[in-house]
Amino acid sequence: MPETFGVYIHVPFCRSRCRYCDFYSTLDETMISRWMDGVIREIALSPAPDSLSVDTVYFGGGTPSLLGSRDVERLLGAVDLNYGIGPDAEITLEANPGTVSLEQLKHLRAMGVNRLNFGLQSLDDRALAFLGRGHSVAEAKNAWDMARKAGFSNMGLDLIYGLPGQGIGEWEKELGKGLCFEPEHLSLYMLSIEEDTPMGRDLALGRIKAPDEGQVADLLRFTLNFMDDQGYPWYEVSNFAAAPGYQSRHNLGYWEKKPYIGFGPAAHSWLPPVRRSNVSDLGLYADLIREGKTPLDMEEELDSEAMRLESFYLGFRTRKGLDVAAFDDAFGGDFFRDYSAVLDSFERKGFIDCGGGFCRLTVKGMVFLDTITLAFCCHETG
Ligand code: SF4
């Protein structure tokens, strides 16, 4: 059983809306103080799961760097008061270029924020404009250098690939520029064009063309192999670290099914076997909290079958893979016997590799992550 849990704080404010994004956020920064009051109250009213202590705190968004450092300090104080933040806790804040200052970053570092993740998304000004990001490459570099100057030694950057017309050559150049930042961590996401976004509408109208399946597979294979060669091995299909100590402990917790509590509108929580999410509306969230009501939108208790499916979905995303002993313990079977038919077929194709108590997808298999996961989920174990 885990002895610790993660805390996620959803900061739903953005300066502008990116053209591909369907996350919940608002441009109304005058709501920050109502949001702060709501989150601090929600924290105070939420008991710690089984008296566990907090080993990761993650400020995600939205754009958490729009918060003043005093706001972050108050929020950390509330988490510490209610649960106790462990002395070696990983405290991450997502930041966007153009929304940080040296003074603010120094304060954040001094109050214990020890991991910064910059949403750069591209290092090409034309691509940034296409994505609708509110910053330039020069601002990204400036923000990054400021953070180093402020004392951050554990920094990550996010980039998006699979943009219309982007081939492996362009993507390799972009990655090269990202590596020049000397980050400790990179998150590299394939562009996902959601229907109800400006980019989704452009796609529907035929104004842009998404890469086809073959191009997506080539880009993914290239990315995993290239980053290995550059000394940033992947530990999850979209995440790469310069050393194991720089892997995101908070996000690893998600994939390893550790408990976490999310605060703020649209935040999710996982307190096994219960999954919850808050309402995705800041006004409603603040009203519910003020009235002493829970801001829950959804709560469900996962049965054993749902937990089994989740073990595949989460386990196969990671390089470590599915923990076979933990799986057998949780579901009372014999994984190698029960799934021998699917295992044999995928092993023969070179998609899966089992050993050391884990079953993991190879780079070749990662290209078919969804299909392989589905095959395990649908397999009748008798
Ligand atoms: S900054 Fe992040 S959350 Fe805000 S619109 Fe852009 S992608 Fe979405």
Name the helix (H) or strand (E) containing 181.
none
pLDDT tier, 47 (very low <50, low <70, confident <90, very high otherwise): confident
Query: What is the Å distance from ligand 1's center to 267 Cα?
Result: 15
CB 26 within 8 A of CB 15: no
Does the domain at 4-255 match CATH 3.40.50.720? Answer given as no
Residues with CB under 6 A from ligand 1: 14, 17-18, 21, 23, 25, 61-63, 96, 119
Query: What is the Å distance from ligand 1's center to 32 Cα?
Result: 16
From the alpha carbon of 132, which atom of ligand 1 is closest?
A: 6
Instruction: Summarize the confidence of residues 266-273 as an average pLDDT.
Output: 95
Residue whose CA is at the smallest distance from ligand 1 atom 2: 62
Mutation pick for ligand 1 pocket among 63, 135, 158, 196 (CB with most ligand atoms within 8 Å): 63
Residue whose CA is at the smallest distance from ligand 1 atom 8: 21
Query: What is the Å distance from ligand 1's center to 66 Cα?
Result: 12
User: Bigger pLDDT: 52 or 146?
Assistant: 146
Q: What is the pLDDT of residue 146?
A: 98
Query: What is the Å distance from ligand 1's center to 31 Cα?
Result: 17
106 burial type by CB count under 10 A (0-12 exposed, 13-18 middle, 19+ buried): middle
- Candidates 265, 268, 262; CA nearest to 287 is 265
Query: What is the Å distance from ligand 1's center to 191 Cα?
Result: 13
Could you give the ipTM of this predicted complex?
Answer: 0.99
85-95 and 53-61 as β-strands: parallel, antiparallel, unpaired? parallel
Torsion of CA 115, 315, 87, 270, to 10 degrees: 100
DSSP letter for each residue of 187-198: EEEE----TTSH
From the alpha carbon of 96, which atom of ligand 1 is closest?
A: 1
User: Bigger pLDDT: 24 or 234?
Assistant: 234
Q: Where are the domains of the chain?
A: 4-255, 304-378
Q: What percentage of residues in the chain have a pLDDT greater than 70?
A: 99
- Fold classification of 304-378 (topology level): Arc Repressor Mutant, subunit A (1.10.10)
Q: What is the pLDDT of residue 382?
A: 60
Provide CB contacts within 8 A for 380, sequence distance 6+: none
- Candidates 92, 229, 210, 71; CA nearest to 157 is 92
- Candidates 96, 101, 127; CA nearest to 16 is 96
pLDDT tier, 135 (very low <50, low <70, confident <90, very high otherwise): very high
Other C-beta atoms lying within 10 Å of the C-beta of residue 227: 19
Query: What is the Å distance from ligand 1's center to 359 Cα?
Result: 35
Tens of pLDDT, residues 300-348: 999 999 999 999 999 999 999 999 999 999 999 899 999 999 999 999 9
Residue whose CA is at the smallest distance from ligand 1 atom 3: 62
pLDDT at position 2 over 70 = no
Mutation pick for ligand 1 pocket among 10, 11, 13, 17 (CB with most ligand atoms within 8 Å): 17
CB 314 within 8 A of CB 382: no
Other C-beta atoms lying within 10 Å of the C-beta of residue 21: 16
